[in-house]
Chains A and B, each alone.
Chain A
Amino acid sequence: MAKTFHVDVVSPEETVWSGEATFLIARTTEGEIGILADHEPVMAALQTGAVVIDSEEGGRTTIGVHGGFLQVLDNRVTLLTDRATLAEGGREEAARAAQELASQVGEDEEPETGGEPG
């Protein structure tokens, strides 16, 4: 059994995924990063894209994320995302979900307002 590390994927509204994993792939601003247990400490900015997590039980979870950070420290990986959704159906689907999140953010950037000088 491969060595595992703890992963938390959190967005401002909720904890999207939490558990033990053996392998993780994410997209940072510098490129893709793959993480195994005992990885050295990393602090990276995330890009819109898919995150792939191979969980301890052997299942593969794909999550679409938009923006945020990746922190690796002492076998704990934390993904602080602006937005994240679990996407079924592999990486392509997750990447698509991430793009969708990105476009949604663009939309609710300007919610209806009633700003008027008094």
Chain B
Amino acid sequence: MASAALRDTRRRIRSVEAIKKITRAMELIAASRIPKAVARVNASKPYTAKLIEVIETVGGASSADATHMLLEQRPVNTVGVVVVAADRGLAGAYSSNIIRMAEQAIIEQRQAGRDIVLYTVGKTAQSYFRYRNYRIERAWLGVTDTPGYGDARSIARTIMEAYASEEIDEVQAFYTQFRSAITQVPTQFRLLPIVPPEATGERPVVNYEYEPSPAEILDRLLPRYVEATVFNMLLEASASEHSARRRAMKAATDNAEELIRHLTVQANRARQAEITTAITEIVGGAEALAESGS
């Protein structure tokens, strides 16, 4: 009959094994999503690259009247803040890193006497800021797993509308940049007003035939540039999230294994101690019998 201590230890081993199976499964699921997310990041690159190229050429051609609303800088009284974090937890420090970075920036902006309008993507960001009594202007949920272009469009339009109506004078975005499966960097950048893409080297001036006018083309190009930038941001954040989750779940699985090893040793010791006690008792009993019999 096993002792209470031994039974306890064995029960703990079983429960840790069950947890390990779950974390292992989550690790594999996250791992299977990384390549897909990375492929989507890469697939979206030709569009953005082309768009930038076109903006450069058109911007150059219509330089006389290139003062588009989205390019125009004005004194900053209110800052729009966009935070992209995960919908679900269990991704290690992925969400908290980017949220903390954003909150730090918000505090600094407030100290500088500016107002904040907060936009969140992902449930973790929403609940973090709501719990701390920040007013969230708008929150998007359920987009971070596999972001679609429609999601990016919705976010970009909301922000651009607020910018156009001068509710906000600047937009700072916070997301986790995907460098590789191992490195993801929490990043801040200014989404609006648009920083005109840096001209890459000398471009020969081309006399395009414009249909309609350059100004109108620019008018259509810039919102798309913002949309594409937001889309790229969502895709990178998604790839980062899956990588972070895989890593966190791998660590959890490793820890479970470690714990199982430790508990198994403990269980063996308890069993050995029981056997030793039993033998001592038998030997003691036998000796007592032998003594009384002689």
A: residues with CB less than 8 A from B are 8, 10-15, 28-30, 33, 40-45, 68-69, 71, 73, 78, 80, 82-83, 105, 108-118
In the complex, what residues of B have CB within 8 A of residue A40's CB? Answer: 209
Is there contact, CB below 8 Å, between B153 and A115? Answer: no
In the complex, what residues of B have CB within 8 A of residue A111's CB? Answer: 140, 142-143, 150-151, 154
Partner of B211, one of A11, A28, A114: A28
Is there contact, CB below 8 Å, between B154 and A109? Answer: yes
Tell me the bound Cα distance from A114 to B137 in angstroms.
Answer: 10
Is there contact, CB below 8 Å, between B217 and A45? Answer: yes
- Is B207 an interface residue when CB atoms closer than 8 A count as contact? yes
**Contacts A42-B211, A69-B54, A118-B135 known; A113 to B141 CB distance under 8 Å?**
yes
**Contacts A8-B46, A43-B58 known; A108 to B208 CB distance under 8 Å?**
no
Partner of B54, one of A13, A14, A71, A82: A71
**Contacts A115-B137, A116-B136 known; A14 to B43 CB distance under 8 Å?**
yes
**Contacts A109-B150, A111-B143, A117-B136 known; A43 to B47 CB distance under 8 Å?**
no
In the complex, what residues of A have CB within 8 A of residue B40's CB? Answer: 13
In the complex, what residues of A have CB within 8 A of residue B149's CB? Answer: 11-13, 82-83
Partner of B47, one of A11, A30, A105, A115: A11
Is there contact, CB below 8 Å, between A114 and B153? Answer: no
Tell me the bound Cα distance from A40 to B40 in angstroms.
Answer: 34
Segment of B69-77, B97-105, B224-232, B283-291 engaged in the interface with chain A: B224-232
- Is B210 an interface residue when CB atoms closer than 8 A count as contact? yes
In the complex, what residues of A have CB within 8 A of residue B58's CB? Answer: 43
- Is B165 an interface residue when CB atoms closer than 8 A count as contact? no
Tell me the bound Cα distance from A69 to B47 in angstroms.
Answer: 11
- In angstroms, how far is the closest chain A Cβ from the Cβ of B226? 12
Tell me the bound Cα distance from A40 to B208 in angstroms.
Answer: 8
Within 8 A of A (CB), among B143-177: 143, 148-154, 157
Partner of B210, one of A43, A105, A110: A43
Is there contact, CB below 8 Å, between B206 and A78? Answer: no
